[in-house]
Structure 1
């Protein structure tokens, strides 16, 4: 698992290559404000080879945040991330390793009969009921805990630094909001127990829509309620404090709702997800930081002119890193040539608070 000593040594090793504030804090660790995302790409051996090479290069270039999920590329992303960590010259203790559970995951490729696979893999062993699985998503405690075990085995590690419940708002397609909160609390309770036992250091919630939409949106979930449920889960698990530490959500030039939509009630009234998270002590990791590549070729000129970087992709990454409370912006790095351009974004300063605010005026 990541340690303070190893991550700060990593910062000392690479810090001079980057601009100020490139390395930021997470639970006492020093982590890069650019992270490797592993969602995109075909589930093929050739893509695996490119990913492995890219992750090794990222680790050896100053990126020590790796993000994956049990279901990404049918489980292949976790496997190559684990292999890359072992192949690189960077110690495991210097890496913030993050994964997610909550979606049905296949074993390397899509099976001929997915329904039969789900029944044999999840329903028959009692990890989930049929009704628990909504559009491939399941946040039942036993299901998520089993996926955690699968992630640990696939990655080849004993402990994950950060483990997310993956897109729980999907459950709102079938269940009411209160039921989803109840289910989250039950799953949080299991994760609190797994944290106390050492399988993970911290957990969080990774979302696509939940935290950046208005309260009346059908996929809305309240960050204040999620925090309350995590605290309740800690009490149920007899932990002194919750291990809830982070949220992951989309944030980029084209999707800035996490900053502009004030749908979470804080101490002084409605707040955006980013501001609430900062006040609540939650670290924010951004996904879709370059909008799955689209911002690498097109960006509003008035925004691009305010950002530093040699390419539009670098400017997009630096916009994402500029939001309040953001710890690291994840970028898909499935090819070594992507790594070089994306990591170089960190040699430029992100926007300061005033300049960032001016983008929205």
Structure 2
């Protein structure tokens, strides 16, 4: 069993990285989690804390609820840990049940019920930040806002944010909310680049093939909404044994800066002036530790190096 009872050393001011717990809890099935699953989760949390990471991201659907459950077990094993970390979770996606496909559900009663279930699994009395996981086109913003206000009044949730929403969708909801939305979590990485390319492919033939709503980053920055980048490690496409131009460039830059390719990959996101905060989702302690410098050091990439990585990943010159 890994000891995580001690205060993490070298904690950087502010959140430079978030640990995503989607990989914790065993399989993507309804089978019960095991003691070994809890041990693995504890080892991952310990590695994150060693890197100075104190924000942990979950969702009610991850591993069919088992991610929250094993994280709750880790909290129960470690007195005092809950007070030292920020717990963020999400609701709004319903997984497939029998012949019924998965769907989105942000109805007020559903939001409240899902939060109550998450609190029970997490073994805590308050969620620090609740994100709405995906937009639900059948639920209006007034109903959503009523549920969020109720949860806040009851002391069950401290702050609210969204995930996978455009700037226009955020503004539509925020107009009904007394509380500020504090985060928007989007898939952003060196591999998933539409968030940055939307701004430079304007007025080119390639713009029509993009799906990212241009102006979303700017809208979040203007509103003081933290942009969280899920999928930040690009599922290993550029690290480990990967062999492609961007991976080779990452390794060269990592050697010159006395760090790891994972750190340089995360620095590429964090270097953007929108203040992106990467979410790392690996459950392997050694790979979590490979991200340590990205949590503890400001991004060490020049303007030119940032563009070199972008162009290497694109495989084509910029327009």
TM exceeding 0.5? yes
Shorter-chain TM-score range: 0.7 to 0.9
Q: Which residue of 2 aligns with 1:92?
A: 82
User: How much has 1:104 moved relative to structure 2?
Assistant: 2.5
1:324 paired residue among 273, 282, 294: 273
Q: Tell me if structure 1 keeps the 8 A contact 2:44–2:288.
A: yes
Segments of 4+ moved more than 6 angstroms: none
Q: Which residue of 2 aligns with 1:286?
A: 229
Question: Within 1, Cα distance between the matches of 2:61 and 2:17?
Answer: 22
Partner secondary structure for residue 164 of structure 1: strand
TM-score by length of 1: 0.67
Q: Which residue of 1 aligns with 2:260?
A: 311
1:230 paired residue among 174, 185, 210: 174
Residue ranges of structure 2 left out of the alignment (5+ in a row): 1-6, 28-32, 201-212, 311-317
Question: Within 2, Cα distance between the matches of 1:272 and 1:89?
Answer: 44
Q: Which residue of 2 aligns with 1:111?
A: none
Question: Within 2, Cα distance between the matches of 1:193 and 1:33?
Answer: 31
Query: Are 2:16 and 1:33 equivalent residues in the alignment?
Result: yes
Which stretch shifts more, 51-60 or 159-168?
A: 51-60
Q: Tell me if structure 1 keeps the 8 A contact 2:160–2:183.
A: yes
Q: Tell me if structure 2 keeps the 8 A contact 1:258–1:272.
A: no
Partner secondary structure for residue 280 of structure 2: strand
User: How much has 1:352 moved relative to structure 2?
Assistant: 6.0
Query: Within 5 Å, which residues of 2 pair with 1:1-361?
Result: 14-15=10-11, 22-24=12-14, 32-40=15-23, 42-43=26-27, 44-45=33-34, 46-88=36-78, 91-104=81-94, 114-115=97-98, 135-168=102-135, 171=136, 179-180=137-138, 182-207=139-164, 210=165, 222-232=166-176, 234=177, 241-262=178-199, 272-297=215-240, 298=242, 300=246, 301-302=248-249, 308=257, 310-326=259-275, 328-351=277-300, 354=303, 358-359=307-308
TM-score by length of 2: 0.75
Change (3 A) 1:320 1:86: farther
Q: Tell me if structure 2 keeps the 8 A contact 1:102–1:167.
A: yes
Change (3 A) 1:347 1:163: closer
Q: Tell me if structure 2 keeps the 8 A contact 1:286–1:326.
A: no
User: How much has 1:340 moved relative to structure 2?
Assistant: 1.9
Question: Within 2, Cα distance between the matches of 1:277 and 1:291?
Answer: 23
Question: Within 1, Cα distance between the matches of 2:122 and 2:223?
Answer: 31
Question: Within 2, Cα distance between the matches of 1:77 and 1:194?
Answer: 22
Partner secondary structure for residue 94 of structure 2: coil
RMSD (Å) for aligned C-alpha atoms: 3.1
Change (3 A) 1:309 1:105: farther
Aligned residues: 279
User: How much has 1:252 moved relative to structure 2?
Assistant: 0.9
Question: Within 2, Cα distance between the matches of 1:329 and 1:145?
Answer: 28
Q: Tell me if structure 1 keeps the 8 A contact 2:269–2:276.
A: no
